[in-house]
A and B are shown apart, each in its own frame.
Chain A
Amino acid sequence: MFTGIPTVQQTAVYVYQTPVRIWHWVNALSITVLAITGYLIGSPLPSLSGEASDHYLMGYIRFFHFAAAYVFLVGFLFRLYWAVVGNSYSHQLFTLPFWRRRFWSELLHEVRWYAFLEQEPRKYIGHNPLAHLFMVVIITVGGFVMIVTGLALYSEQTGLGSWQDQLFGWVIPFVGQSQDVRMWHHWGMWVIVVFVMLHVYTAIREDIMSRQSLISTMISGWRMFKDDRP
């Protein structure tokens, strides 16, 4: 029936289950704490005066770094578990369908959309291919590298024979020496910082300009589509 009033039915799909949403925000918080404290471990705050016994600043900074690191690690392991038991979108983070032609054509389309060469973006229930690629490379691979190098560095203080040393101590001679592991762990921080900037920007931009919801989806779990066209 034509009423003269344009109607748009907003379809919605439940994408991000509660555990995934909680993990996302816990992860965001732990990465923020890790990046700030990590930077301060590499470049400490201005020196404090007085007696050494009056302060424990580096101690606290390092404590928060290690505490946040364990939160990140437990979150990562939990997320891995949820990829197995969660819904079909939950294992996107750990699988990249690079063997599919369609993935690459959609990726190109998405790049062209960001370069203002496409009039309209396509609809995606899960991640768009560009986001998917970045998520896998930075959060999964990058997160894994940070966990492995981080635990290797942590094993230097827990000492020979500790579980950190037995599981990850080999990383230090594998990379070169302790200083090299530090350097790559430090580089990893900057890679993640740049990713977070892009992630926040594109999430806001796509929330406004794309044909689906993004920010609210990570809060409610529901992906809302703004139109009915395919």
Chain B
Amino acid sequence: MATTETFYEVMRRQGISRRSFLKYCSLTATALGLAPSFAGTIANAMETKPRTPVIWLHGLECTCCSESFIRSAHPLVSDVVLSMISLDYDDVIMASAGHQAEAILDEIRHKYKGNYILAVEGNVPLNQDGMSCIIGGRPFIEQLREVAADCQAIIAWGSCASWGCVQAAHPNPTQAVPIHQVIHDKPIIKVPGCPPIAEVMTGVITYMLTFERIPELDRQGRPKMFYGQRIHDKCYRRPHFDAGQFVENWDDEGARKGFCLYKMGCKGPTTYNACSTVRWNNGVSFPIQSGHGCIGCSEDGFWDKGSFYDHVTDTRVFGIEANADRVGIAAAGTVGVAVAAHAAASAIHRIKQRAGEHHEENDQA
């Protein structure tokens, strides 16, 4: 193992020119929201620091995070980062297999004790003693606990590792739980999304490798630089929202003109992600740009929040799915009718009472 190699040396060995390296540094500085002067800082760090190993574990997942990662928009980014981490452990893309591969895990754990980053894709099924996810003949939870014990920090890739995602959706037969419910004693950086954006993933890794600290996180443990704002806040269709111009049907004039998709159930106003700024596939597009609302894939429990085409969540009340508007209108209507009936009854009651009093007065006279 090239233990003393710096990032820069690894990159040069991979055939990356100095010019490309510097371009990568400035691009990363921009992606991280740093000042242009930080490109030099990044370059300097990469040239002088011995690289930090990254172990990439796969739990209960669909590999969409890996698929996204290897399609990082700037090809260089994936080249650079992959060359930094694939040498160590990632059972999907590394060359070695079987016992040889598992041996690497042990080697890194002991050699870099407390100095490596653990990236986890997917989550942990707890039911049936964790039998729903077996890695190298053992439940994934055992592998995760062992590797996590000696790591510096954990990156939870995707909505699975961050929140639970589809395998934890109701009724969650395998009792899949996100990483933070299994590992409690390590800092966990959540990078949610199904999958997360490639540039967000490489950006987070590069930040941690370069500055040797975890990026600033929000309350839920997501890097503020990518998850600090909602899709809605920077959506290019936002002016149509403010103007009150909405798509009402998938084939109407508004849809052709690119109006706001709020009424079609766009989850942009409730979803924290960088899609509307970084976009996907080399910055080509993102769901809203291609005419479909955001489904909120980077939000906690997004599979259990009702239809993808309704921004008002269905509420399970007594086993019946109903939304606030339907129940609210029904309740207001019922109360309205009840009030009218009660008013009528009150009036009749009063007339009768009056009649009774009148009789009494007459009797007295």
Q: Which residues of A contact B (CB under 8 A)?
A: 42-49, 52-59, 61, 114, 116, 119, 156-157, 159-160, 169-170, 172-173, 176-180, 182-183, 186-187, 189-190, 193-194, 197-198, 201, 205, 208-209
Q: Which of A159, A173, A186 is in CB contact (< 8 Å) with B229? A: A159
**Chain A minimum-CB-distance residue to B350:** A209
Contact (A114, B312) CB under 8 Å given A177-B299, A179-B270, A186-B324: no
Separation of A160 and B245 alpha carbons in the complex (Å): 28
B219, B233, B343 interface centre (most CB from chain A within 10 Å)? B219
Taking CB atoms, residues of chain A closer than 8 Å to B219 are: 169-170, 172-173
**Chain A minimum-CB-distance residue to B361:** A6
Do A179 and B242 touch across chains, with their CB atoms under 8 A apart?
no
Pairs A-B, 5 closest by C-beta atoms: A190-B328, A57-B244, A178-B270, A55-B243, A52-B239
Do A47 and B248 touch across chains, with their CB atoms under 8 A apart?
yes
Q: Which of B244, B269, B312 is in CB contact (< 8 Å) with A47? A: B244
**Chain B minimum-CB-distance residue to A205:** B346
Do A47 and B254 touch across chains, with their CB atoms under 8 A apart?
yes
Taking CB atoms, residues of chain A closer than 8 Å to B241 are: 58
Taking CB atoms, residues of chain B closer than 8 Å to A44 are: 244, 246, 262-263
**Chain A minimum-CB-distance residue to B349:** A116
B241, B243, B331, B349 interface centre (most CB from chain A within 10 Å)? B243
B259, B296, B301, B342 interface centre (most CB from chain A within 10 Å)? B342
Contact (A57, B243) CB under 8 Å given A173-B220, A178-B271, A198-B339: yes
Contact (A201, B343) CB under 8 Å given A42-B312, A179-B296, A179-B313: yes
Kindly count the residue-residue contacts between A and B in the assembled complex, taking CB atoms under 8 Å apart: 130
Taking CB atoms, residues of chain B closer than 8 Å to A156 are: 230, 233, 269
Q: Which of B240, B272, B296, B339 is in CB contact (< 8 Å) with A201? A: B339
Separation of A197 and B336 alpha carbons in the complex (Å): 7
Do A194 and B267 touch across chains, with their CB atoms under 8 A apart?
no
Separation of A131 and B271 alpha carbons in the complex (Å): 40
Would you give 22 A-B contacts (Cβ < 8 Å), ordered by A?
Answer: A47-B259, A48-B243, A53-B243, A54-B243, A58-B244, A114-B342, A156-B230, A156-B269, A157-B233, A173-B219, A177-B299, A179-B296, A180-B305, A182-B270, A183-B315, A187-B324, A190-B325, A194-B332, A194-B335, A198-B335, A208-B350, A209-B346
**Chain A minimum-CB-distance residue to B267:** A179
A42, A178, A187, A209 interface centre (most CB from chain B within 10 Å)? A178
Do A48 and B327 touch across chains, with their CB atoms under 8 A apart?
no
**Any A CB within 8 A of the CB of B146:** no
Q: How far is the CB of B228 from chain A (nearest CB, A)?
A: 5
Do A45 and B244 touch across chains, with their CB atoms under 8 A apart?
yes
Taking CB atoms, residues of chain B closer than 8 Å to A48 are: 243-245
**Chain A minimum-CB-distance residue to B305:** A179
Taking CB atoms, residues of chain A closer than 8 Å to B345 are: 116
Separation of A32 and B233 alpha carbons in the complex (Å): 28
**Any A CB within 8 A of the CB of B67:** no
CB within 8 Å of A: which B334-355 residues? 335-336, 339, 342-343, 345-346, 349-350, 353
Do B299 and A179 touch across chains, with their CB atoms under 8 A apart?
yes
Separation of A182 and B243 alpha carbons in the complex (Å): 21
**Any A CB within 8 A of the CB of B5:** no
Known: A47-B254, A173-B300. 10 other contacts (CB 8 A): A42-B312, A53-B239, A58-B243, A157-B233, A160-B224, A179-B267, A179-B296, A205-B342, A205-B346, A209-B350
Separation of A179 and B269 alpha carbons in the complex (Å): 9
Do A180 and B233 touch across chains, with their CB atoms under 8 A apart?
no
Mask: chain B, 129-140; 1 = CB below 8 Å from A; 0 = not:
000000000000
CB within 8 Å of A: which B243-258 residues? 243-248, 253-254
Taking CB atoms, residues of chain B closer than 8 Å to A61 are: 244
Taking CB atoms, residues of chain B closer than 8 Å to A119 are: 353
**Any A CB within 8 A of the CB of B106:** no
Taking CB atoms, residues of chain B closer than 8 Å to A160 are: 218, 224, 228
Q: How far is the CB of A49 from chain B (nearest CB, A)?
A: 8
Contact (A42, B325) CB under 8 Å given A47-B259, A160-B228, A182-B270: yes
Taking CB atoms, residues of chain A closer than 8 Å to B331 are: 190, 194
**Chain A minimum-CB-distance residue to B220:** A173
CB within 8 Å of A: which B209-242 residues? 218-220, 224, 228-230, 233, 239-242
